[in-house]
Chain A
């Protein structure tokens, strides 16, 4: 396989600049490759890739698998930066953080530390996803180990176990949300409403009560000119002031086992929240100091893990727990009206790129379909993995990274001649 020379056309650089501006707007400041995927849910934390030139159709043989790798048990997704793809997995009761060459899958560096498999009612293994900030890579283990690596070399810049040090209760399935970088802070979903560390030193900046965390990534939200972070917590969704950690609003939202795991989806001054175990979804308008205004609430989308993606006023999301057959649904954000529901794709992870859904089914089937409220009409399919996949795939520089629970990773080559 010959390597493509990076080619960036005018449109793509504009997209890249817009993405960068959006990131800066969220208080993030990173040197981002035009099409890198530096954090959970992508450059804009919304499950939408800015990439437009990628292969959405292929011959019967399916797209090229550039390489395969094995990273250990787990459900961690990927981040991509400067030619490396990062993820985590567990083997022999140790977690390993991997930095693989994005083009070849060759291990550039890795770091292993003791960590319980934690196979309570599932296969266990790592569940969180790393986060890139410049040349730093941050990881959080299920049991509270935080690492700051130099992404280029794997050198540990600092590490601490925030569970032991803060006494935060470990939620039933461990800490899961990917770290969030806002300016100088590294914010973690540890404690009832998060924990903020100095991203350069690891020193605690603010912390919250030791009550159970939920499983979402801390989601940055700028509203009314103020920077908030929203957490799916053990007993609800809670917005805090990002600088002080002070609670601004709280939406009580009790879910079986305290599993609020799907990131809230932001739409201006409104947030869409959803949980599984039969709970359901709501569109809320959080206001300072009072209970959020409830725009609508229903059972239309009961998302256990991977959050829905909002695209053109419609949510594309997963309804149903891992114990049942999942439904992929399209739901109108404003009303909660279901536009369509599909039971055939078995979708467990998704993203949207260039107006198309990129879906990974539980059994490792990759499906491409237009993201449209008019119906679910797959245009391409390929079996890219065996085993069981619950992890959202990611798209970076035309390459789609997918994994299964056993830690088999594939790089699906969706580059076109025009892909940078």
Chain B
């Protein structure tokens, strides 16, 4: 979405009679914000909101009352705010009607919560990837466009200083013509032993936590944390780390989507996924390769959760392979340019990360607030983030069906493959309804 189309959708807001008009903020009044999903990362975002001095936390929501209690205490210590506690986000939205809602739940909840918050007129900061399936993400995009509210997605690498500078360098032509990009996230691990299922924590409403997704037997591997490697609730490392680096690729290229996607991988080291009444393992691949065919270049994703050692210099990031050299953009290791010609200088810039998140949430939060107040398109707005989020989701579809998929990015359909196309959505568990585009 460009600036003009944003203004256009903003103008359509007046049509939404049910949503209070809160695009602009009166001086001296703080934004009334609520957090849905009050775990570690949600609180990291919340801390940036509080640090801005422009926000008052009015409500916190979590399916786990312990997480809620810890979060309430921390907010109180940080700001003196006394947020109300909610287990169910629907009740929170109905009663509080916050100006801004932060959504940091597992992926399978993003769509319903984002759409509901927009319906109540809130601006939304939602974690990446946008949806758990492609059509959820499309529904989120549409809801955002219809509402005229600002939706920022947690793709902080869009604004991280070393990413921004590396992109400037890349776009200046200093790397030459780039024909291939390799993006990756590697870590350690090994064979995964099943863990016994158990009663959910006494403080947790497990049924609510599972929400529209399948309800697995509770297992300590899933919560707190851990759910990213369960495909019912997330999309493994490709959905977690992959989306950041695929987003970097889209930030660089003029192309909006790939024409073909192929992915393979498996659990050759972790072992076959286990799920029965007694015990379970995770089921995300322990390694995966996904190839994205664009018109002018090929992008290859790789992740591996084993064989962590010093053989490879960088464990996380993107290599842009150009005719003048290779640019590595990393995380803590900043960016480095390795020139092809010996006479050219290697260039490097350190990362500039912020605490406590170790990334750049502050900049992304400030950008979000600026977008609301100045009616600007945010740095990681929903349209851009939707396109970036679709890429790992397509990779996962190819991984599941075991073949290449041809992608029509304008219609957002997989071409000539009905069974793969069916995976753009998934059935929701009763009584939840899959959002319509």
Chain A residues near B190 (CB, 8 Å)? 117, 119
Given known pairs A235-B66, A254-B66, A256-B40, the reply for A170 and B193 (CB within 8 Å) is no
Contact indicator A116/B70 (Cβ below 8 Å)? no
Complex CA distance for A69 and B189, rounded to whole angstroms: 23
Does chain B have a CB within 8 A of A354?
no
Chain B residues near A41 (CB, 8 Å)? none
Q: Could you give, for residues 116-128 of chain A, a 1 whenever the CB lies within 8 Å of some chain B CB and a 0 otherwise?
A: 1111110100000
Chain A residues near B225 (CB, 8 Å)? 120-121, 172
Contact indicator B196/A212 (Cβ below 8 Å)? no
Q: Which residue of B lies closest to A92 (CB)?
A: B191
Q: Which residue of A lies closest to B305 (CB)?
A: A119
Complex CA distance for A210 and B199, rounded to whole angstroms: 9
Complex CA distance for A172 and B73, rounded to whole angstroms: 21
Contact indicator B196/A143 (Cβ below 8 Å)? yes
Does chain B have a CB within 8 A of A70?
no
Does chain A have a CB within 8 A of B312?
no
Does chain A have a CB within 8 A of B54?
no
Complex CA distance for A255 and B201, rounded to whole angstroms: 15
Given known pairs A120-B221, A254-B70, A278-B74, the reply for A170 and B40 (CB within 8 Å) is no
Complex CA distance for A121 and B196, rounded to whole angstroms: 18
Does chain B have a CB within 8 A of A250?
no
Chain A residues near B198 (CB, 8 Å)? 163, 169-170
Contact indicator B188/A123 (Cβ below 8 Å)? yes
Contact indicator A212/B202 (Cβ below 8 Å)? yes
Complex CA distance for A93 and B188, rounded to whole angstroms: 15
Q: Which residue of B lies closest to A235 (CB)?
A: B66
Does chain B have a CB within 8 A of A258?
yes
Does chain A have a CB within 8 A of B255?
no
Does chain B have a CB within 8 A of A164?
yes
Chain B residues near A355 (CB, 8 Å)? none
Chain B residues near A179 (CB, 8 Å)? none
Complex CA distance for A259 and B102, rounded to whole angstroms: 25
Given known pairs A116-B194, A123-B188, the reply for A170 and B220 (CB within 8 Å) is yes
Kindly identify which residue among B40, B196, B202 contacts A164, using a CB–CB cutoff of 8 Å.
Answer: B196
Kindly identify which residue among B189, B193, B199 contacts A167, using a CB–CB cutoff of 8 Å.
Answer: B199
Does chain A have a CB within 8 A of B226?
yes
Complex CA distance for A234 and B40, rounded to whole angstroms: 17
Does chain B have a CB within 8 A of A68?
no
Does chain B have a CB within 8 A of A386?
no
Complex CA distance for A255 and B70, rounded to whole angstroms: 6
Most B CB contacts (10 A, CB to CB) among A117, A118, A163, A254 go to A254
Does chain A have a CB within 8 A of B20?
no
Complex CA distance for A255 and B73, rounded to whole angstroms: 10
Contact indicator A117/B199 (Cβ below 8 Å)? no
Does chain B have a CB within 8 A of A211?
yes
Given known pairs A170-B198, A212-B201, the reply for A254 and B191 (CB within 8 Å) is no
Most A CB contacts (10 A, CB to CB) among B193, B194, B195, B196 go to B193
Does chain A have a CB within 8 A of B224?
yes
Q: Which residue of B lies closest to A174 (CB)?
A: B220
Does chain B have a CB within 8 A of A257?
yes
Q: Which residue of A lies closest to B78 (CB)?
A: A278
Complex CA distance for A154 and B376, rounded to whole angstroms: 71
Contact indicator B226/A120 (Cβ below 8 Å)? yes
Complex CA distance for A255 and B69, rounded to whole angstroms: 9
B28-82 interface with A by 8 A CB criterion: 40, 66, 69-70, 73-74
Q: Which DSSP category, helix, strand, loop or mixed, fits chain B's interface?
A: loop
Chain A residues near B226 (CB, 8 Å)? 120
Contact indicator B201/A169 (Cβ below 8 Å)? yes
Q: Which residue of A lies closest to B224 (CB)?
A: A257
Q: Which residue of A lies closest to B190 (CB)?
A: A117
Contact indicator A211/B224 (Cβ below 8 Å)? no
Contact indicator B224/A172 (Cβ below 8 Å)? yes
A285-316 interface with B by 8 A CB criterion: none
Contact indicator B221/A119 (Cβ below 8 Å)? no
Q: Which residue of A lies closest to B355 (CB)?
A: A324
Chain B residues near A164 (CB, 8 Å)? 196
Chain B residues near A92 (CB, 8 Å)? 191
Q: Whole-angstrom distance from the CB of A327 to the nearest CB of chain B?
A: 15
A106-160 interface with B by 8 A CB criterion: 114-121, 123, 143
Complex CA distance for A258 and B224, rounded to whole angstroms: 10
Complex CA distance for A124 and B151, rounded to whole angstroms: 38
Contact indicator A211/B202 (Cβ below 8 Å)? yes
Contact indicator A169/B195 (Cβ below 8 Å)? no
Contact indicator B193/A117 (Cβ below 8 Å)? yes
Contact indicator B73/A254 (Cβ below 8 Å)? yes
Contact indicator A234/B189 (Cβ below 8 Å)? no
Complex CA distance for A258 and B226, rounded to whole angstroms: 16
Chain B residues near A121 (CB, 8 Å)? 225
Contact indicator A93/B202 (Cβ below 8 Å)? no
Q: Which residue of A lies closest to B281 (CB)?
A: A116
Chain B residues near A257 (CB, 8 Å)? 224
Kindly identify which residue among B70, B73, B191, B196 contacts A170, using a CB–CB cutoff of 8 Å.
Answer: B196
Complex CA distance for A121 and B73, rounded to whole angstroms: 24
Q: Could you give, for residues 211-248 of chain B, a 1 whenever the CB lies within 8 Å of some chain A CB and a 0 otherwise?
A: 00000000011001110000000000000000000000
Given known pairs A234-B66, A254-B66, A256-B40, the reply for A119 and B189 (CB within 8 Å) is yes
Q: Whole-angstrom distance from the CB of A153 to the nearest CB of chain B?
A: 29
Contact indicator A116/B193 (Cβ below 8 Å)? yes
Q: Whole-angstrom distance from the CB of B195 to the nearest CB of chain A?
A: 5
Chain B residues near A169 (CB, 8 Å)? 198-199, 201-202
Complex CA distance for A171 and B223, rounded to whole angstroms: 10
Q: Which residue of B lies closest to A116 (CB)?
A: B193
Q: Whole-angstrom distance from the CB of B272 to the nearest CB of chain A?
A: 14
Q: Could you give, for residues 298-333 of chain B, a 1 whenever the CB lies within 8 Å of some chain A CB and a 0 otherwise?
A: 000000000000000000000000000000000000
Given known pairs A172-B224, A211-B202, the reply for A114 and B70 (CB within 8 Å) is no
B176-200 interface with A by 8 A CB criterion: 188-196, 198-199
Chain A residues near B193 (CB, 8 Å)? 93, 114-117
Q: Which residue of A lies closest to B279 (CB)?
A: A116
Contact indicator A172/B66 (Cβ below 8 Å)? no
Complex CA distance for A243 and B221, rounded to whole angstroms: 35
Complex CA distance for A271 and B85, rounded to whole angstroms: 31
Complex CA distance for A169 and B195, rounded to whole angstroms: 13
Kindly identify which residue among A143, A163, A254 contacts B69, using a CB–CB cutoff of 8 Å.
Answer: A254
Give the 10 A-B CB pairs with smallest separation, nearest first.
A116-B193, A93-B193, A211-B202, A254-B69, A254-B70, A170-B220, A256-B70, A257-B224, A116-B195, A170-B198
Q: Which residues of B contact A (CB under 8 A)?
A: 40, 66, 69-70, 73-74, 188-196, 198-199, 201-202, 220-221, 224-226
What 12 new A-B contacts, CB under 8 Å, besides A117-B193, A119-B189? Answer: A93-B193, A116-B192, A118-B195, A143-B196, A170-B198, A172-B220, A172-B224, A212-B202, A234-B201, A256-B40, A258-B66, A277-B70
Q: Which residues of A contact B (CB under 8 A)?
A: 92-93, 114-121, 123, 143, 163-164, 167, 169-172, 174, 210-212, 234-235, 254-258, 277-278
A selection of 11 A-B contacts at a CB cut-off of 8 Å is: A117-B192, A120-B220, A120-B221, A120-B225, A170-B198, A174-B220, A234-B201, A254-B69, A254-B73, A258-B201, A277-B70
